[in-house]
Copies of this chain bind each other. A is one copy, B any other.
Amino acid sequence: MSTTRIDGVSVTPQANVYFDGKCVSHSLVFPDGTKKSVGVILPSTLTFNTGAAEIMECVAGACEWRMAGEETWQRSGAGERFSVPANARFEIRTTEPYHYICHFG
């Protein structure tokens, strides 16, 4: 089931704007210091580079994704997650807005 609400967090009101706005997110900090972000990717094909490992949780819409060098795209829809290792490169392609929570580490 998709996460529909995240409680008790601090939000940075300045958005993170990537790829001319094709990806927009807001950063969250939990009381224990855990950081996550909530964002949306608009229809596009984008390449991301991770620092820390990430778990991408889809909360609405859908995307296809693959690690750099892979041929096959995998679909991730609402309520589904995929993991990307640290210091890696991956691609996301979307034909509809893909709404996500990014969990780090």
Contacts and interface: CB of A to CB of B under 8 A. Distances in A.
Contacts of A97: 15, 17, 21
Nearest to A7: B10
Nearest to A57: B13
Contacts of A17: 40, 42, 97
A40 B60 contact: no
A24 B11 CA distance: 15
Contacts of A3: 13
A26 B14 contact: no
B21 A11 contact: no
A7 B97 CA distance: 27
A5 B28 CA distance: 9
